[in-house]
Amino acid sequence: MADLNLWKHHLGAVPEAVWGQTELESLVLADNDLVELSEAIGRLHRLRMLDLGHNRLEVLPEALGDLEGLTDFLYLHDNRLQTLPRSIAKLTRLRYLNLSNNSFTALPEQVCELAALVELRALDNALTSLPPAIRKLSKLRELHLRNNRLTRLPDELGQLVALRQLDLRGNPLESLPDSLAALPALEKLDLRWTTFALPRWCAELEDRGVLVYR
């Protein structure tokens, strides 16, 4: 696999020559004080993994959606993002997305179009809501939402039939939707650092072998 690792090179900006390496399948640009990203990234059609973590990005180019070969990982954590480009909905083969440590107040609707997602990380943001369209993520196995501002969850979360791990730590939740009780694949429900009264069905989950942390 053609790989270019520029981790922590203090670049400040991505060299133009990078966008000409169209054979790349893995590109690491993490920890480079990047404040913007060129639309030329759309040329890298063979990318399977892209790491943009630990930068200072506030917006991403629409050309990100041209990376339709992106299947393995997209790391966007530890930036200053509040929105995502609409075009990201085109990444329908992407299996892992990390949005942690940004400034999202709501999970972008276009994330719900990423039908192949197996793991979604959105820890340490300012999320106050999840869209009902999250039900579309039928292959999602892990959903990590620690340290957000969620007070309620949509009933549609109970339609995530492949979900194995749900991390809700550190949210000011007032309750849980009863639909979670029927999640057929659930193995771990993490409710630590929350203060609401557990619904009775949590005990039923434990009887079923689900690990419920509180």
Domains delineated in the chain: 3-213 (3.80.10.10)
> What's the rounded Cα separation, in Å, for the pair 54 and 76?
8
CA dihedral 76, 81, 85, 90 (to 10 degrees): 30
Beta bridge partners of 143: 120, 166
The tokens for 57 are 């990005």
The tokens for 22 are 């169209």
Give 42-46's long-range contacts (Cβ < 8 A, gap of 24+): 42/66, 42/67, 43/19, 44/19, 45/69, 46/2, 46/22
How far is CA 203 from each of CA 80, 184, 198, 206, 213, rounded to the nearest angstrom? 39, 15, 9, 5, 11
User: How confident is the model over 130-160, as pLDDT tens digits?
Assistant: 999 999 999 999 999 999 999 999 999 999 9
pLDDT along the chain (214 residues), means of 10: 94 97 98 98 98 98 96 98 98 98 98 98 98 98 98 98 98 98 98 96 97 97
Helix or strand (DSSP H, E) at 205: helix 201-207
Q: Do 64 and 40 form a contact (C-beta atoms < 8 A)?
A: no
> What's the rounded Cα separation, in Å, for the pair 100 and 80?
10
User: How confident is the model over 191-207, as pLDDT tens digits?
Assistant: 999 999 999 999 999 99
What number of CA atoms fall less than 13 Å from residue 195's CA on the CB side?
Answer: 2
Q: What's the pLDDT at 175?
A: 96
* DSSP-based three-state secondary structure for 64: helix
Q: What's the pLDDT at 1?
A: 72
The tokens for 24 are 């790349």
Closest by CA position to 8, among listed 40, 53, 70: 53
Q: Is 129 left (phi over 0), alpha (psi -120 to 50) or beta?
A: beta
Q: What's the pLDDT at 46?
A: 97
